[in-house]
Structure formats: structure tokens, C-alpha cells
Structure 1
Amino acid sequence: MSASAVGRFGDPARPAVVALGGGHGLSASLSALRLMTDRITAVVTVADDGGSSGRLRDEMGVLPPGDLRMALSALCDDSEWGRTWRDLLQHRFSTDGPLDRHSVGNLLIVALWELLGDTVGGLDLVGRLLGARGRVLPMSMVPLCIEADVRTQDGRAEVVRGQTHVAVTPHRIEQLRLDPVDPPACPEAVAAVMDADWVVLGPGSWYSSVLPHLLVPELRAALLGTSARIVVTLNLTPDDETAGMRAVDHLAVLRTHAPELPIHAVVADPASVEDVGELADLCAATGTRLLVRQVRRGDGSAVHDPLRLAAALRDVVDDYLGDVGTTTGTDALGGT
């Protein structure tokens, strides 16, 4: 390994990685990343307006805590202590009263915010309680609303408002925006992106969890200005908001919302790519390296396997460090 590579990436065995997203997709990414480094920062969307998070957001005017809680749980220490506190955070009440479907973790996080008056400090304290292998931060310091311009099947233009509605829209999404349009980014999240070796986008709900990070001006500027390399992990299956979209369409939408964003590598599962050759051609045309590798569980379910995804991401990192040779076949970076 060259001295320049070591200087650029610090400790190559412990790269500093920032993962952007929310919900189950971000949890999948964090479950894999924790197997390859402990220098992890999760930057989480704060637009959830449903369920326990939505109720707390409406009642108390706080950031929706649910996706933040899930990210913290994914990074918990792999010990009896860490797993016990993770399970407690994820526990939901089932009652006939006002606590019904509230998670303990959501209530704990909001209580700490109220007690400390410090959003980031409260999340860091929960991370210490879990022995978290990394840090969890909100992408913005204010609750956000997602709006989408959609095109119905009969050609009418409509606006869908709210993350829970965007996530299940049956219509083709044409453009995404945030309300407020110029939200303040979390300063610690901006600093983490600028200091990172790698930034991972996806997997996750493309419009309601992944793309919103690119619409926060300060965070977008950091993603464009960082020296970190950006990796996109594609989803295993479409969801409601991306029904009918192919792997190449996901990348095209990313380019539409952030055409100047450099994408250095793409990780895709072969069973989730309709035309590997077309995806490889698109990546080659944009100077993006492509790793096509099975990253789903062996039982065929549409769930990322942490070990397989970690191995794929590690190969992407090692390839840039010059520690692996050229491969051929569907495991090749930059081709098929």
C-alpha cells in the first residue's frame, strides 16, 4: 500500500464512514458497516410523520425520533448489555390507552432532549447507553416535510405531501422537495461528511429516505465538497414509491436531483438488476465502479445479509486502496 493511500485514508483498517438514509434501509447498511469499522456516523432523515414518531412530533414539536432510534439500535454493542438495551429501545407498548404503539426508545430520546435541551447530546447519551459502535445524527435540526410532484396514470400532475404518503404513492414521482426548503443542517453531520473517507447512500426508500439528504443545502454542499468517496448501495426490491423502476432508473433519479454529485462506486445484487450490461454501461459512462455481488440473505428473502454486504463494501474500499487485484465475472468492479 502506498504512503499516499495511508495518508488519504488514515487507518485503512478503520475507514471513517458516513451512512445516509433512514428506517430499515439505513439499519441494514449500519449492520454491515459495523463489521468493518467502528468509525461510523449515521446521518438520519427527520421527515417521518407517521406512527409513534409522528405523534411525538405533532404533540411536542420535536424531531421524529423513530429512524434515529433504529440507527442507534443497529449500532448497539454486541454484548448482553447492548442487546438488552437495544431490545428495550425497540419495545412497543400495546395498550388501549395513549401509550399504544409508542416505542420505549422514542420516549427515552424525546425525554433526554427535553431534559438536556440538546438534540445531539441526547443522541450521544443513548449511544453511550447502548455501547454504540458509531454515532447517530439528524440530517437537519428541524422536523421536515417531504413533498413530491407526481404524475398520475391518466397524466394529471399532483402534489403528494408527507413522508408516509410519498412512501406509498402509486404514482410516478417526478420531483422531490422539502418544507422548509432551506432547512438548517446538523453541524456535526456536515463536519462528519467533510471528514469522512467514504459516504454510503442507500439502501432504503429512494425518495423518502435517501434523496432528502441531497435537498438540505449545507449537507448537499458538504457532499459535493468532501474528499470522501461516495458509494451507492442499490435496493433489493422496489417498494411502492419506486414501483416499476429499474436499477438504472434509481441512478438516473439520483443524477436528476444532484447532477453534480460524484458517485464513485455502486453495489448491486445480481437478482435485483434487470440488465447487468446496461447498468455496467451506465456506470462506465460516468466513471463509476460497479460491484455486482450477492448481498441478500441466502434464503432468497429481500433482506440484506450484513456479512455479505460488509464483504462487498470492504472490497470496494480495498480496491481503491490497491489491496485487491483485478477480478472478472459478475464480481468485477467496473464491469460484468
Structure 2
Amino acid sequence: MVALGGGHGLHASLSALRRVTTDITAVVTVADDGGSSGRLRRELGVLPPGDLRMALAALCGDDEWGHTWSEVIQHRFRSEGDLHGHAVGNLLIVALWELLGDSVAGLDWVGQLLGAHGRVLPMSSVPLDIVAEVEGVDPARPYELTTVRGQVACASTRGRVRSISLVPEEPPASPQAVKAVREADWVVFGPGSWFTSVLPHLLVPDLARALVETKARRLVTLNLLPQKGETDDFRPETYLEVLAEHAPHLGIDVVLADSGVVGDTGRVGEVAKEMGGRLVVADVAAGDGSPRHDPDLLAAAFDKIFRG
């Protein structure tokens, strides 16, 4: 299994996938420019480690070792000094990168320490910036397009994101990530921030080519709720339509949606079929009313799809 994304969405997907298989590779976006990751990126010129850290935490086991190390690397310092806001895992990852001079080897070492049930890879070997074309940033000009740069700015924009691109253009893909995609049985897109975590993978040429050409089957997990700014007013089928716009040659096999989100399956089922796939509706949302996937329910849905 290869899972693509970043942040909390990829964390949810990996938390479920590790309940189904131990043969998991996470391919993670490297465009974060906020918080601890942004500070380390600007100060040291490294890949932003935060989304990579969250993916490693999600792959920790349910035993005492896994729980403890997951909490350790997710722990953030609280102080009045320079360490405030830094996550322990970010510092650990960057330290290994500096010692080893190899981002993939550093992540593999952290994964071994954590006993991670899978591997975590960056989608590109260089830090990236996301540039979005946003409509309606100025409410007085609702149809005017504005260019917004940076993951944080794109995710929090007041307008509606119409498309994204990457800087630098045509960035180099991580060779290990390309290899994992080409050798996978399944590739899983989403859930997650659609424009800033999911779609960027399709703008890295070698990785995008591998995603189109792989013999793996492709699964898209839809979000539970639109994200303010980034996907305001999105209907379930809109995620698929935007995916098709950014990667017109990408076929999909299965679209997984929560039964509480997809009431009328007509249109989303039609779009899934147009992209070569079928719609699967299941209860995958957490029962506490929060907009997050329940890892056990999501794992059960994944297992049924993979076995089908």
C-alpha cells in the first residue's frame, strides 16, 4: 500500500492502513511553511519535517513502545524561548538529516526507533512552495483571480482556490517514492487538505507519471467536510472533478465516501464512473461528531475494498 498526502488527513489514512497491513509506504508532501516546520526550513534549508513526523507517528504500533514514542515525537515544547512550538520529532528528524546527509535514510532511522509499521518518504527531494490561483479574495471583486503563495496562505485564504502549481516548477521526485508507487498493489489518495496535501503529488512530473502508469489500483478517500478557504462549498463529487482537472490521465478504481456525507450518491457515483471507478459508501466517520475518520471503521472499509 502506498498512501499519499500530508498532515492530519494522511495521519488518519495511515492509522487505518496499519491495522490492515504492515507493508505501507507513505509519500508525504514537502511544502509546509508554517510553525515549527517553517522555522526549521527557513533556518536550515531542510525539507519541512512536520508532515513526515505526523506520518511516522501514525505508523507507531498500539503497544506501550508505540504509544510512548508516538507521544514523544508529537510533543511540543512550551516556553518563552526559541524552542517554543518546536516538536521533538521535527528536531530529531532534522538532526539525523544533518548527521547522515540523506533525508530518506534519516526517516528510515526514525522509523526503526519508533518501530513504525511502514516507511515514510518525502514526495520530492527539495522543499517546495505551493502557489494557488484564488478567486474572490476581495469580496468586492468575487470573480477576480489572485495569486497566493505558501501552504499556510493557500490553506487559510479567504477566497476559493481554483488551481495550484509548485515552485520550483517540475521539481525532482524522491526516487524511492517513484519506485514505491510503481511497485504498489494499491495507491491511496486522501483524505486531507485537497489543494495543499493531496494534489501536489500530481505536480511532481516523475511521481505523477508513476501514478498514471502504475499497475496498482487507485483508491480515493473523500473528506468528511469542506475545509474553510481551501474547499469552501465543495460537494463530494467536486473533489473528484478537481482531481481530474489536475491529472486528466489519472484513472481511479474506487472512491470511498462516508454514508453521512454522501446522501444522494447519484452525481458522485457518476463522476467516479467517468474516471473509471466505482463508489463505495461506508460508515467511516468518528462517532463523536468531530470531522475526523475513525481509524477502526476506516480500516474495516479499507479491508473490505482491498479484499474485494
Q: TM-score range by the shorter chain?
A: over 0.9
1:163 to 148, 151, 162: 151
Q: Give the alignment of 1:62-211 within 5 angstroms.
A: 62-152=46-136, 153=139, 154=141, 155-211=143-199
Match of 1:277 in 2: 266
2:225 to 237, 240, 246: 237
Which secondary structure state, in structure 1, belongs to the residue aligned with residue 279 of structure 2?
A: strand
Deviates more, 1:66-75 or 1:310-319: 310-319
Is structure 2 residue 210 aligned with structure 1 residue 222?
yes
Match of 1:317 in 2: 306
Which secondary structure state, in structure 1, belongs to the residue aligned with residue 260 of structure 2?
A: helix
Match of 1:28 in 2: 12
Cα distance, 1:275 vs structure 2: 3.0
Counterpart contact for 1:91–1:103, Cα < 8 Å: yes
Aligned equivalents of 2:70, 2:235: Cα separation in 1: 35
Cα distance, 1:299 vs structure 2: 2.2
What is the root-mean-square deviation of aligned Cα atoms in Å?
1.0
Aligned equivalents of 2:146, 2:268: Cα separation in 1: 31
Q: What is the letter of the counterpart of residue 299 of structure 1? A: D
Deviates more, 1:41-50 or 1:83-92: 83-92
Deviates more, 1:245-254 or 1:276-285: 276-285
Cα distance, 1:282 vs structure 2: 2.3
- Residue by residue over 1:49-93, the C-alpha shift from the partner in whole angstroms, topping out at 9 and shown as x without a partner, is 000000000000000000000000000122212221111101100
Q: What is the letter of the counterpart of residue 232 of structure 2? A: A
Cα distance, 1:146 vs structure 2: 0.0
Aligned equivalents of 1:139, 1:78: Cα separation in 2: 27
Which secondary structure state, in structure 1, belongs to the residue aligned with residue 291 of structure 2?
A: coil
Aligned equivalents of 1:281, 1:83: Cα separation in 2: 42
- Residue by residue over 1:32-58, the C-alpha shift from the partner in whole angstroms, topping out at 9 and shown as x without a partner, is 000110000000000000000000000
- Residue by residue over 1:234-274, the C-alpha shift from the partner in whole angstroms, topping out at 9 and shown as x without a partner, is 00111121011111111000000001101110000122225
- Residue by residue over 1:288-314, the C-alpha shift from the partner in whole angstroms, topping out at 9 and shown as x without a partner, is 111011101122221101111111111
Counterpart contact for 1:296–1:308, Cα < 8 Å: yes
Match of 2:292 in 1: 303
Aligned equivalents of 2:234, 2:84: Cα separation in 1: 36
Counterpart contact for 2:191–2:223, Cα < 8 Å: yes
Match of 1:289 in 2: 278
2:247 to 238, 243, 258: 258
Q: What is the percent sequence identity of the aligned residues?
A: 60
Q: What is the letter of the counterpart of residue 269 of structure 1? A: D
Whichever of the two has the greater Rg, that structure is: 1
Aligned equivalents of 1:311, 1:131: Cα separation in 2: 23
Which secondary structure state, in structure 2, belongs to the residue aligned with residue 271 of structure 1?
A: coil
Q: What is the letter of the counterpart of residue 121 of structure 2? A: L
Aligned equivalents of 2:201, 2:272: Cα separation in 1: 22
The runs of at least 4 consecutive aligned structure 1 residues that moved more than 4 Å come to none
Which secondary structure state, in structure 2, belongs to the residue aligned with residue 296 of structure 1?
A: coil
Aligned equivalents of 2:53, 2:96: Cα separation in 1: 13
Unaligned residue ranges in structure 2 (runs of 5+): none
Cα distance, 1:28 vs structure 2: 0.1
Cα distance, 1:127 vs structure 2: 0.2
Counterpart contact for 1:270–1:276, Cα < 8 Å: no
Aligned equivalents of 2:32, 2:271: Cα separation in 1: 33
Aligned equivalents of 1:298, 1:172: Cα separation in 2: 30
- Residue by residue over 1:153-183, the C-alpha shift from the partner in whole angstroms, topping out at 9 and shown as x without a partner, is 4221110100001011121222210000111
Relative to the length of structure 1, the TM-score reads: 0.88
Aligned equivalents of 1:211, 1:286: Cα separation in 2: 16
